[in-house]
Amino acid sequence: MRIDPNLSNVSAPSVSLDGTNIAFIRNGKVWAMNIDGSNPVQLFSSLGEFNNLTWSPDSKFIAAVRKSKLYNISLETLEMHEIEKSHLVDEESTLTWSY
């Protein structure tokens, strides 16, 4: 899937459940942008490579895996937190939210 002709090395696109945004991995980093392709933003630059993205049901958070650990990213505050009570996550697993 080609998200934007000006963005290369993109993988794991995930559309938010409210249909307004797309999260994706580019060069191992988590990015998000509006559904129309505008405003692409790299959410974090200092950490290593991420994979396996999924949106929360309210489209306010993105979950992602890095080195078999699960992280929660808030789009409102742009803060990321490791979910410490999680088990190690296989990087090929599919993530889902549960409340």
**What number of residues does the chain have?**
99
What average pLDDT does the chain have? 80
Per residue in 24-42, pLDDT (tens digit) is 988 888 999 999 888 888 8
Asked if 32 and 41 count as a contact pair (C-beta separation under 8 A), the reply is yes
pLDDT at 72 exceeding the cut of 60:
yes
Instruction: Give pTM, 2 decimals.
Output: 0.77
If you search the block for the tokens 């650990």, which residue do you land on?
69
The number of C-alpha atoms within 13 Å of 96 and in the hemisphere containing its C-beta is 3
pLDDT above 70: percentage of residues in the chain:
76
CA distances (Å), 63 to each of 52, 71, 91, in order? 8, 6, 12
Selected residue with higher pLDDT from 87 and 39: 39
